Amino acid sequence: MKNLKFKYLCLLGLIVGAIWSCSEDFLEVEAKGQFLTDTYYSNQNEAFGGLVAVYDMLRTNSSGAFDNLILLMNSGSDDHVAGGGGESDVLQLQVFSNYTMSATNASSSIWTDSYKGIFRANILLSKLPDVPMDENLKAQYTAEAKALRAYYYFNLIRLYKSIPLITEPLSSDAINSVVQSSRENVYQQIENDLISAKAALPDFRDLSTEAGRFTKGAAQALLGKVYLYQGKGSQAAAELAVVNGPAGGTSQYGYRLLDDFNSLWMADNSFNSESIMEVTHSGLVNAAWDWAWPNGLEGNMVSQMVGPRSYVGIAADAPDLNSGWSFNPILPELYNLLKDDPRFDATILDLKTLKEEGKADYVPGYQDTGYFLKKFAALNADKHTGGGNFELNWGQNSYIIRLADTYLMEAEALGGTGSRAQDLLDAVRARVGLPSVPVSMDAIMKERRLELAGEGQRWFDLVRSGQAASKLSSRGFIAGKHEFFPIPFGELENTSLQQDPSYSN
């Protein structure tokens, strides 16, 4: 993560490739190079480099690859389809969008990238006790590694019904014998890691040197979300109440809703007061197709992928957009829900209307609706002008958790009733000039849909609330099956892992 101001990325690239090569194809190939861990981590600088490696998978997992978490989850929701250049363009998005997933065609990147992060965290946690360094700093590195491990496991347990729980480094002869754990055990480990982490993490970070690193508030927000997904409403509400503070005010961690919703999506407005957990991107690496893809990529692929194809601004007031690859077109239902909402202009790029008015033109892609996701659409003003390929070097950060999200999660955890839930819902609406509406679970879910549109949250909300089958059956969603992904075929070969029976045929 470039903005972490970590100085060891060049060295780390060599070290990570050797130390963690076993994680490149989890449970699939023989581990190599583990002997280097015996000599690495000999001092604080090397421990710091190991921590960078654990953070590094945040970017790839969330928004730094073709089938990253944002694009993937948008594709399967009722607000978007996969889009792109054709029915096989980034096949992992297409088969999730039309619910034809199988072990051989579904996305494997979340599984692979999450376990890479977990492996790196496990190695660091096993080595830190013996590193000669300041004990307070050691405790903080330990907390960060645990919080990151919890985040990676949370992504896995939300997407897969049954996964291996690995909390220590594996020897090469143990990899193929790993078995899956119960969902309860995985969730308990996530909770334990986050409870331990929040006790040792700082309330604040120096954004000039530590932007992007876990804080106590980020760990607490994630813990609240973990409780919510398990139906532990009172525990979720208690954690999120501390994160949120007074509705519409400033929390003890300094979190506060931005006055201008539009400013959330400005590339130069990273780590603002609404940002709780954020993935850093950078174009300064000068990534190119022939040398930096995919392992060296630090740019935000969402920015490139959601823009319209062959875009041309004709009128003087037409948006000055970069052409993209037309993934995640917005469906008319969401367009109609947002068209009279103050968040419309920041969320949806209405090229259908601009083209009809002769103000702009573009080439329709696959499943084109004329409506594009504007939150991440890349502006020419933000275009990388250095070396490499600009498509790989967009620098807009992406949110994992932001304050409006935690407001609405706390309101949901409270059962969608009571004065506190009402105040939280009102604050999200008041920020964009909307009047109060009576709080209810339906009102909260509708507000989440509009507030968080295109941010990869909608599919999870549908599954968690039990609405996925009714909302997505026309797309091929089958209740009891498509709430989870199949384990990638490559992870099943010569291992003890068992496929979800729903995908066994």
Query: With left for phi above 0 and alpha for psi between -120 and 50, is residue 497 left, alpha or beta?
Result: beta
Residues in the chain: 505
Looking at the structure, do residues 196 and 319 belong to the same domain, yes or no? no
pLDDT, tens digit, for every residue of 318-341? Answer: 999 999 999 999 999 999 999 999
Looking at the structure, do residues 210 and 314 belong to the same domain, yes or no? no
Q: From CA 71, how far away is CA 94, in angstroms rounded?
A: 11
User: Which is higher by pLDDT, 28 or 110?
Assistant: 110
318: domain range? 308-396
Q: Looking at residue 294, what is its pLDDT? A: 56
Domains held by the chain: number? 2
Q: Looking at residue 291, what is its pLDDT? A: 75
Residue 59 lies in a domain: yes
Confidence band for 437, pLDDT divided at 50, 70 and 90:
very high
User: Which is higher by pLDDT, 494 or 444?
Assistant: 444
Number of CB atoms found within 10 A of residue 204's CB: 11
Confidence band for 387, pLDDT divided at 50, 70 and 90:
confident
Distance of CA 148 to the CA centre of its chain: 12
Residue ranges in 212-281 assigned as alpha helix (H): 216-229, 233-244
Please check whether residue 180 is in contact with residue 163, taking contact to mean a CB–CB distance below 8 angstroms: yes
Residue 459 lies in a domain: no
The domain boundary, picked from 343, 366, 396, lies at: 396
Confidence band for 293, pLDDT divided at 50, 70 and 90:
low
User: Which is higher by pLDDT, 203 or 18?
Assistant: 203
Q: Looking at residues 417-429, what average pLDDT do you find?
A: 98
Q: From CA 486, how far away is CA 162, in angstroms rounded?
A: 10
Residue 301 lies in a domain: no
Helix (H) or strand (E) holding 139: helix 135-159
Residue 208 lies in a domain: yes
Q: Are strands 360-363 and 398-402 parallel, antiparallel or unpaired?
A: unpaired
Residue 402 lies in a domain: no
pLDDT, tens digit, for every residue of 473-482? Answer: 999 999 999 9
Q: Looking at residue 36, what is its pLDDT? A: 60
Q: Looking at residues 224-235, what average pLDDT do you find?
A: 98
Residue 470 lies in a domain: no
pLDDT, tens digit, for every residue of 296-310? Answer: 678 999 999 999 999
Looking at the structure, do residues 187 and 325 belong to the same domain, yes or no? no
Q: How far is CA 332 from CA 79, 96, 357, 414, in A?
A: 8, 19, 19, 32
Looking at residue 71, which CATH number applies to its domain?
Answer: 1.25.40.890
Confidence band for 295, pLDDT divided at 50, 70 and 90:
low
Residue 224 lies in a domain: no
The domain boundary, picked from 341, 375, 396, lies at: 396
The domain boundary, picked from 360, 376, 396, lies at: 396
Residue 194 lies in a domain: yes
pLDDT, tens digit, for every residue of 189-223? Answer: 999 999 999 999 999 999 999 999 999 999 999 99
Looking at the structure, do residues 201 and 313 belong to the same domain, yes or no? no
Query: What global pTM score does this model have?
Result: 0.92
**Residue 465 C-beta-side C-alpha neighbours within 13 Å:** 23
Looking at the structure, do residues 72 and 193 belong to the same domain, yes or no? yes
pLDDT, tens digit, for every residue of 77-120? Answer: 999 999 999 999 999 999 999 999 999 999 999 999 999 999 99
Looking at the structure, do residues 184 and 314 belong to the same domain, yes or no? no
Looking at the structure, do residues 24 and 157 belong to the same domain, yes or no? yes
